[in-house]
Amino acid sequence: MKKIAFITGATSGFGKAAAHRFAQEGWSLVLSGRRIKRLLDLKETLSVPVHVMQLDVRDADAVKQAVDSLPDEFSAVTALVNNAGLALAPQGAPEVELSDWHTMIDTNVTGLVNVTHALLPTLIKTGAGATIINVGSIAGQWPYPGSHVYGASKAFVKQFSYNLRCDLQGTGVRVTDLSPGIAETEFTLVRTKGDQSASDNLYQGTTPLSAEDIAEQMFYIASLPDHININRVEVMPTRQAWSPFAIDRD
């Protein structure tokens, strides 16, 4: 039976790498993102059936319309990869614009909920082996300065994934919270609004994860035997670990 992966945020980073990884195994793809040229360019590099859609996941009506209008050959989605998301404002909370907090909530929380809700009937119809992969972050488990709403939004992703597991029991649909650590993508460029030096400094002198590392985890999760559900995967590079608690001193 043909397998179809629906990947949000496919224009770069984890989503783009996931498109290549699933395509290597012959999966058909539905790829969404806000930058249509990037999606069309990506489609040209893939040798499997691909349907692209310019989509802002924050717009619930647009998401529902996009899912409802999928061509027949792409409608029986097997795996949903909720990858669209972002971090903004690495400064401390008192220095952050409220609009940046709202953008993170609208994308990381509301957008993920919009897409999941729209595709749940399809995934339940697919049944055994259907998979929802929600891209979280270690920030959803481990706080750090400057994480404020970003970390809180990823904590939502974790708990939402667990709660979905409860509600989908008996349907055959699997749910995983995939939570990466430091990974070299456009993440920091977006977070710093284009500061290339900040991005370079973050990854300098260490060995971060790559987008392909996370795409490999996505494909592994989605291709497991039907009776196996991985609840949560937290992936760090070997050279990243936790720090001691911060203590304020006189």
Query: What's the rounded Cα separation, in Å, for the pair 85 and 122?
Result: 23
Instruction: State residue 139's pLDDT score.
Output: 96
What pTM value is reported for the model? 0.95
Q: Which helix (H) or strand (E) holds 115?
A: helix 112-126
- E-strand ranges in the chain read 4-7, 28-33, 50-54, 79-82, 131-135, 174-180, 232-235
The residue behind tokens 């290597």 is 24
Catalytic entry in 150, 162, 203, 220? 150
The residue behind tokens 């987008």 is 211
Residue 203 bears catalytic tag: no
Quote the DSSP letter at residue 127: -
Cβ atoms within 10 A of the Cβ of 147, count?
20
Instruction: State residue 188's pLDDT score.
Output: 81
Cβ-based neighbours of 93, under 8 Å, separated by 6 or more: 148
CATH of domain 4-235: 3.40.50.720
pLDDT per residue of the chain (250 residues) written in tens, 0 to 9: 799 999 999 999 999 999 999 999 999 999 999 999 999 999 999 999 999 999 999 999 999 999 999 999 999 999 999 999 999 999 999 999 999 999 999 999 999 999 999 999 999 999 999 999 999 999 999 999 999 999 999 999 999 999 999 999 999 999 999 999 999 988 888 888 888 888 888 899 999 999 999 999 999 999 999 999 999 999 999 999 999 999 999 9
What are the residue boundaries of the structural domains of the chain, listed by start? 4-235
